Amino acid sequence: MLPKYLQEKGVPSNAEYLFIEEEHLLDTIQQEFPKHSQLHLCTPDEWQEKASGLNLITHLRTQSVTLVRSSAISEGLYPPYIELFQKIQKEYFKLDLYINIGTSSLFHFYRIALFNTADNQYSMSLLKNKLKGKTAIILGAAPSLDKHIDWVRNNQDKLYILTVSRLARKLKEESITPDFIVSVDPQPGSFHTSKEIFEFEQHSTFIHSYHGNQQLVGQWLGKKYYTGHRYPWRTKSKKDITPQSGSTVTNAALDTAILMGCSNILLAGVDFCFRSDGHTHASQSGTKSEEASIIATDDTYQMVTNNRGEEVETSVGFLQASEQFSQAVKNYTSTDQEVINLSDTAINMKHVSYQDTATIDLSSAPLKTKVEHSNESATKYYATSSKELKNKKRELNQIIRLCREITVHYEKPCNTTKAKKQLEKLEKRLEKNKDLLDLIKSLSSKEMLRVLRASRNEQSEWTEEEVTKSNIAYHEIIIQKARGLRAAIEQGIKRIKTR
């Protein structure tokens, strides 16, 4: 029995073991289960509450927790255990996704955003209420788009079309010209799935996240606006920031339509669930998923209801994205704005109504007009943004220098009053850079948690040596992250100089 083996061999001081057993077996197992402060037993219904008391959230953030299947499950010796493990695994993955979504990529996003500074001149905030009272349609890449593509083509002169970037090739082949092309993915693959957007450079406006793919953003010569915040830190200008309601490109398209004041926001290809045959994307949408089902490779699916009232499958990621989308509709739309899904096979979402295209009346809709705003001098913008980046680089240099001095004090401890005052003075000077320091801490939260939670003992019980080591490690983490941020700023400055 594993718990007894662990007790005999000795449990590491910083480890916790939680065993999950079926409720009807619990009494029998408890009779043999060893009494040890780091060995725990619970039922499937209790595991999340029990794990929470063992700092599960911290361990998820620091990636210091593992879900392990027993040999009985691995060898298929007891079928109910297999079902139990699948249930716990889904709950665990969903919690892990919720806790860590975005945090692991944040520094990568900011690094790209700083590189994109030269191109992030115009914020989406400049287009606020520019389409007040108009009808827009958001085209997602889900399977239901194929059913509506003819209707969109036939009505494109009355609809302001916002499309996800991966649909550019499909829309070109369907003779549909989008008004806005939206992209958020910074990864290199985004360029390859979306490079056909340049076919629309003369006619469409590019809406990209502040951390949009460098090749797409940098090479686009038409009108473009960024969503989110221009810099990772706060600035005095409120125009530098637009709200971002979620992490997906569909969320970005929704944010854009709401901000521009569209009264009716139609959805096509925004499903957030699998088609009955398992496909997740429309045909010719720049992905192989139209050729093969992905259900077999995703064991974290959930059952949800579509607009037909049918039970269908979706992934944890899709479900979370749909919840973000629904919440954005609730939080950001005004009373004169309505979001309508045209697809009966799409997931049924709160605050989003369903309507068949046959009932959508566009006969009185006016023809589209251009969306314009007053331009700012590019030369002036480059000078202002370059100054902003150089100022932050100086602050980072100061933070790095102060942290070095502080670590020297801890490495060569001196308990004299003079030494303690010097250390306090350095710490106070460091805190004067609070905004930038808080940013560095947020980017380093995972590393810092590993240091500060390295022992299962409370910090109040740490020895003087442990406190010293943790303080050194804490400031070294700040130095490392500050250097990374400084390097990203230098790349941003270098890019501006090329313009």
pLDDT digits (tens, 9 = 90+) for 461-479: 677 787 888 889 999 999 9
Residue 81's pLDDT band (boundaries 50, 70, 90)? confident
Backbone phi, then psi, for 12, in 5-degree steps?
A: -55, 145
Q: Among 187, 184, 293, which Cα is nearest to 248's?
A: 184
DSSP alpha helices (H): ranges in 412-463? 417-431, 434-443, 445-452
The answer to whether 34 and 3 are in contact (CB under 8 A) is: yes
| Mean predicted confidence (pLDDT) in 266-272 | 97
Q: Which residue has the higher pLDDT, 297 or 240?
A: 240
| Mean predicted confidence (pLDDT) in 233-243 | 78
Lowest mean pLDDT among 28-37, 165-174, 295-304, 359-368: 295-304
| Mean predicted confidence (pLDDT) in 313-320 | 86
pLDDT of residue 254: 97
pLDDT of residue 297: 37
pLDDT of residue 293: 32
Element (H, E) at 23: helix 23-32
Rounded Cα gap, residues 257 and 270, in angstroms: 14
DSSP assignment of 336-404 equals T-EEEE--TTSBP-TT-EE--GGG---TTPPPP---------HHHHHHHHHHHHHHHHHHHHHHHHHHH
**Amino acid identity at 61:** R
How many C-beta neighbours within 10 Å does residue 37 have? Answer: 8
Kindly report the average pLDDT of the chain as a whole number. Answer: 88
| Mean predicted confidence (pLDDT) in 185-209 | 95
pLDDT digits (tens, 9 = 90+) for 82-101: 888 888 988 888 788 777 76
pLDDT of residue 456: 47
Q: What percent of the chain has pLDDT over 90?
A: 59
pLDDT digits (tens, 9 = 90+) for 251-263: 999 999 999 999 9
Q: Is the pLDDT of residue 159 over 50?
A: yes
pLDDT of residue 287: 54
Q: Is the pLDDT of residue 365 over 90?
A: no
pLDDT of residue 285: 55
pLDDT of residue 455: 44
C-alpha distance from residue 193 to each of 164, 168, 190, 495 (Å): 11, 9, 5, 25
Rounded Cα gap, residues 311 and 237, in angstroms: 47
pLDDT digits (tens, 9 = 90+) for 435-445: 999 999 988 88
Q: What percent of the chain has pLDDT over 70?
A: 91
Q: Is the pLDDT of residue 232 over 90?
A: yes
pLDDT of residue 225: 96
Six token digits for residue 83: 């079902």
